[in-house]
Structure 1
Amino acid sequence: MTAQPAQPAQPAPPDRRVGGRYTLREVLGRGGMGVVWLATDEKLQRPVAVKEVTFALHLSEEERRVLRERTLREARTAARLDHPCVTAVYDVVEEDDRPWLVMEHVESCSLQQIVDKQGPLPWAAVARIALDVLAGLEAAHRAGIVHRDVKPANVLVAPDGRACLTDFGIATATGDPTITTTGAIIGSPSYMAPERANGEQPQPPVDLWSLGATLYTAVEGRLAFSRGEPMATLMAVVTEEPAPPTHAGPLEPVLRGLLTKDPAHRATAEQARRMLEEALAGAGVDQPWTPPARTPAPASPPSAAADGSRVARFDADDLKALAAASATALGTVARDARDQARYLRERRRERRGSAAHPPEPSVVAAGAGREPAPRPAPRQPAPVAGSTPRRRRFKRRWVVVPVLVTLLLVLAAIGGLVALAGYALGWF
C-alpha cells in the first residue's frame, strides 16, 4: 500500500453532548487524526477542548482498533506531564466505539494557522516560541516520552505570544509498547526525522529535528522539505538539504544544528536553548509581535500537498521503494565522487611533476652590458587522456568533505531501510 493521508469521516454535529457531560460548541482545528472542538464541561461549567478521533474510510477493523488504542495511550501519556508548555489532559470517554479526549482549553491559534495567515514570522518571535516548545519537549523527554509529531499544527500560541505543545497522539513512552501496523511508520513526512525513515527506534533527537523543521516553516513561511507527495517528501528528508533560509537571521545556526541529519551530531536541547537565548540577548529591543485573533477552522482539512503536515502511513512496500530510490541516489553520488577523485589524482600528479623539475634561475653574466640568459619555460606534464581540464583556485575540501559526508549518510540510510524492510517481510 502506498503512503496516503487519512481522510477523516464525518465529524460530530455541534451542540452534541459527549459522555453525558461535554457539549460541543465549535471546531477549533482539524488534523489527519481528528477534529478538536471547543466544548463546555457542564458539570464544572468551564471551557474544555475535546478531541474527536475521526477514522479514515480506508482503515481496516484492526487499524481502527489500533487507532483507538493509540488515542487512549495519548491520554495516558499526556496525563503524565505537568508543565505549563504542555496542554493538560482532563478526561477520556468512549462513545460511538471510539475515544474522545478532554483537554485543557488554551485560548490560542496554532502556529500553522498563524503562518497561513501572516506568512513568515519575525525571527525573535519564533525564537521565543521555540524556547517554550523546547521546554515542553524537555519535560516530555525527562518523563521518557518522545512526541514524534512536532509540527506547527501541534504548537499553540496564546495572545501574549507564549506557546505550548499539544497532541501526543503518536507519542512513544518508556514501558508502553509501540502501537502501530507491522512494518509501517506513521508521521508527518515534512517534519519526520531521517532516522525514523530508516526504521530506527524513536529517541529524543527525532523531536529536535521536527522542532527545527517547525521553526524553519515559521520563520521562512514555507516547508523545509515538500515535494507534493508523501514518499517524495520523505525521500527529500533522507537525501537532500533544505534550501538556505533567507529570513532566519540569527536563527540560522539553530536551524542548521537541529536539521543535521545524523542524530549523533544534531544539536541537543541544551545547545539549542543556549543558541536561542544568545540570539535573543544579542538582538536588543525589537518590535513587539502579537499573534492574530483566532479564526474559525476551515470547513474541511487542507490537503497533504498543500501543507505537507498531514499524518501519513508508510508501509513496508513504501520503505522498500524508498530504499531503491536511495540506492539510485547513492549511484549518482558514487559517480560524482569517482570523477572528483580522478580530478584530484591528476592535480597531485601535476604537482609532483612540477616539484621534480623546478625552473632554472636566471644567470647574470659578469661584466656590464650583458643581458641575462632567457629563463626556460617550466616543464608541463603531458595531458592525460580523459582528464578534466585544470581549474584555477580549486580547493579539495570543497568536494571531498561534502561527498564523503553525503556518501556516509546515504549508506546509513540504505542499511537502515534494508534492515527494516527485511524485518517487516520476515527475512530475518
Structure 2
Amino acid sequence: MGELIAGRYRLGERLGAGGMGEVWAARDERMRRDVAVKLVHPSYGARQSETRDRFQREVELAARLSHQNIVTVHDWGDTTVDGSRLLYLVMELLAGTPLNRRFTQDRTPWPLGVGWAAQIAQALDEAHRHGVVHRDIKPANAMVISNGTVKVLDFGLAKFVGDTVNEYELTATGSVLGSPSYMSPEQAEGDRDIDHRTDLYSLGCLLYEAVAKRPPFVATSPLTVLRMHMDTVPQPLSNRLPAGVPPALDDLVLRLLAKDPDDRPADAMTLAEELIGLLIEAAPPSPGRYDLVGLSRLGLPGALAQRVLDKAFDEQFRRRLVHEERLRNERAEAEQEAARIRARAEADARELRAAAQEEAERILAAARTEAGREHDAAPEGLSELRSEYDRMSMESDTFIHRLRLIDALLDDGKDPDSAWRNTAASLIEETEHIRSRVRHEQRGLSRLATTEQRNLNAAQVTDHLSELRTQYDRWRLSTMTLARMIGDGERLLNAPPPDADGPPPVRERAVDSD
C-alpha cells in the first residue's frame, strides 16, 4: 500500500483482515522500527465524536497493560484512507503464527496445548486485575512467536466494537457479532453485564480445540452453535481421544465450559495455577507419552517452559519446606509424647515402688508380730522343759550319790565278789550314762533357747519341744526304774543275811546321810 498514516506510519504488507478491520505491517518513520497497524472500520454516523472517545478510552485502558503475554500498544488515532474515516491502532510487530493456523497442523500434544492455555490465562489475569475483559478470546487472537511465547491480541477492541454496534444497532438481522465457536453462554444470550469469567469460558473452548482438534460445539449454523453453548453439555475430551489425557485436564476443561459462571474457576490466576500444575505432574514423562522436552522451544527467559521450571522448582522447594516443617512438628510431638510417657512411667514406678515398699513393710510387720508371738510362746515351753531337765540332773546326781554310798557299804563288807556289789557297780554305770545323756540334752536345750531360736519358726519350735518331751518321758521312765533298783538294793543291804555267806548289814547312818 505504501500509504503514510498520521504522517508517521508507512503501511507495508497486509497481514490479515477480520470483522474489526485489517492488520498491516508498517514502518514507524519517527522511531525507525517495524510495527503493526490495525485499521478499524466503525460506522460513525451522527455520533462520531462519541465513538472516537469510546475507542480512545478502551485502547488507552488496554495500553496500560504490561505483560509478556500481551501485545504492546504503541499509539492510536484516527485517519482517512481512500476517503474513509478510520481509527488505527499501532502495536508491536510479532513474528509468529496465530494459534488457529497451528491448530490446522498435526494434533497438538496435550501438554503443549496446556502450555499455551497457561500463558493466555496469565495474560487474562493481568488484564482482569486492571478491569479489562477481552470478550473475544479465540485462536486467531493468540499468536505463538519464535521463542515459543504466546501473545494475546486485541485487548479493548472487542469491547469497543461491541459497544459501538450496540449503540448504533448496526447488526443485520440474523447476523452474529463475534466468534460463535468461542462465545460464552452469557454472551450468546446478549447479556451486557458479563464479567471476566466469559474470557475463561472462551479459553476453555480454545483449550478444547487445541487438544481435540475441534471446538466443543460444531454445527452448520452459527445460531445453532450459540444455542449449543447455552443448552448442550460438551463431550469430555476423554471421549474424543484414544488415551493419555489426564483425568484432571478432562475435569478442568468441563469446569471451564460450565453454563453457570459460578461453576467455572474463580479467576484466571487460579486457572493458570491448575494448568501449570498439570504440566508439573506430567514431568518426568513416561514411555509413549509426550513430555516437557517438547516445550523446550518455550525455554527462553520469560517464556512458559522457564516459568514452568521455575514453578516446579518453587513447588518442590515449598513441598520440601512443608515436609521439613511436618517432620519437625512430628518430631516435637514425638518428643512431647515420649516425655509424657516417661513422666507417666516414672510416676507409675514411684507408685509401684511406694506400694511395694508399703506392702513389704506390712508383711515385715506381720512377720515380726507373728515371730513375736512365736518367740513369746517358745520360751515358756523351753523354760518348762529346761526346769524338767534340771530336776532330772539333780535326781541323777542324787542317784549317783546313793549308789556310791551303797558301794562304800559293800566295800566296808570286804566282799569284792559279792553279787550285791556287782549289782551296785552296774547301777552306778547305768546312772552315769543317764546323767551324761541328760546333760547333753541340757546343752542342746540351752542352744535352742538362745542361738538357734532366732532361726526357728513356730512349727520347728513345736517339733523340737515334742521331741524333747518324748526324750524327757523316756529319761523319766529310766530314772524311775533306777530309783526302784536303788531302793531294792538298799533294802537288800539292810536286810539280815540268810546265811553266813550273805552280805553284811548296811549301816543306817550311811543310808540316812543320803
Taking structure 1 as the reference length, the TM-score comes to 0.58
SS at match of 2:263: coil
* Cα 1:71/1:243, change in 2 over 3 Å: farther
Distance 1:290 1:113 in 2: 21
Q: In the alignment, is the contact (CA less than 8 A) between 2:123 and 2:152 conserved in 1? A: yes
Among all aligned residue pairs of Structure 1 and Structure 2, give the percentage whose two residues are the same amino acid. 37
Q: Does 1:208 align with 2:200?
A: yes
* Residue of structure 2 aligned with 1:83, choices 52, 56, 67: 67
Question: 1:264: Cα distance to partner?
Answer: 0.7
SS at match of 1:36: strand
User: Any residues of structure 2 matched to 1:202-281 within 5 Å, and which?
Assistant: 202-245=194-237, 246-247=240-241, 249-250=245-246, 251-268=249-266, 269-281=268-280
Distance 1:179 1:153 in 2: 22
* Cα 1:155/1:67, change in 2 over 3 Å: farther
Structure 2: runs of 5+ lacking an equivalent: 286-290, 298-514
* Larger helix fraction of residues: 2
- Figure out how many residues of one structure are paired with residues of the other and give that number: 271
User: Any residues of structure 2 matched to 1:343-362 within 5 Å, and which?
Assistant: none
Structure 1 segments of 4+ aligned residues over 3 angstroms from their partners: 59-74, 169-173, 177-180, 182-186
Letter in 2 for 1:278: G
Taking structure 2 as the reference length, the TM-score comes to 0.49
Question: 1:271: Cα distance to partner?
Answer: 3.5
Letter in 2 for 1:181: N
Flag the structure with larger Rg: 2
Name 1:181's counterpart in structure 2.
166
RMSD of the TM alignment (CA)? 2.7
Question: 1:217: Cα distance to partner?
Answer: 1.6
Distance 2:54 2:38 in 1: 13
Name 2:294's counterpart in structure 1.
288
Name 1:152's counterpart in structure 2.
139
Q: In the alignment, is the contact (CA less than 8 A) between 1:86 and 1:166 conserved in 2? A: yes
Letter in 1 for 2:77: V
Name 1:190's counterpart in structure 2.
181
Distance 1:62 1:167 in 2: 26
Q: In the alignment, is the contact (CA less than 8 A) between 1:152 and 1:214 conserved in 2? A: yes
SS at match of 1:94: strand
1:128-160 CA distance string (max 9 Å, x none): 111111111011111011111111011111122
Distance 1:230 1:290 in 2: 38
Distance 1:147 1:105 in 2: 20
Which structure's relative contact order is higher, taking Cα pairs within 8 Å and 6+ residues apart?
1
Q: In the alignment, is the contact (CA less than 8 A) between 1:110 and 1:152 conserved in 2? A: yes
Q: In the alignment, is the contact (CA less than 8 A) between 1:112 and 1:153 conserved in 2? A: yes
Distance 2:135 2:229 in 1: 15
Name 2:4's counterpart in structure 1.
17
Q: Does 1:163 align with 2:159?
A: no
Name 1:130's counterpart in structure 2.
117
Q: Does 1:111 align with 2:99?
A: yes
SS at match of 2:115: helix
* Cα 1:71/1:219, change in 2 over 3 Å: farther
Question: 1:231: Cα distance to partner?
Answer: 1.4
Question: 1:120: Cα distance to partner?
Answer: 2.8
Name 1:33's counterpart in structure 2.
20
Distance 1:16 1:36 in 2: 14
Distance 1:261 1:129 in 2: 23
Distance 2:178 2:41 in 1: 16
* Cα 1:63/1:157, change in 2 over 3 Å: farther
Question: 1:62: Cα distance to partner?
Answer: 6.0
Q: In the alignment, is the contact (CA less than 8 A) between 2:99 and 2:144 conserved in 1? A: yes
Distance 2:14 2:296 in 1: 23
SS at match of 1:39: strand
Distance 2:259 2:118 in 1: 22
Distance 1:212 1:16 in 2: 40
After superposing the two structures, state which structure 1 stretch, 272-281 or 82-91, moved more.
272-281
* Cα 1:290/1:112, change in 2 over 3 Å: farther
* Cα 1:162/1:75, change in 2 over 3 Å: same
Question: 1:73: Cα distance to partner?
Answer: 4.0
Q: In the alignment, is the contact (CA less than 8 A) between 1:125 and 1:161 conserved in 2? A: no
Letter in 2 for 1:219: V
Distance 2:155 2:47 in 1: 18
Structure 1: runs of 5+ lacking an equivalent: 1-13, 292-428
Q: In the alignment, is the contact (CA less than 8 A) between 2:10 and 2:29 conserved in 1? A: yes
Question: 1:169: Cα distance to partner?
Answer: 4.4
* Residue of structure 1 aligned with 2:37, choices 40, 50, 53: 50
Letter in 2 for 1:249: V
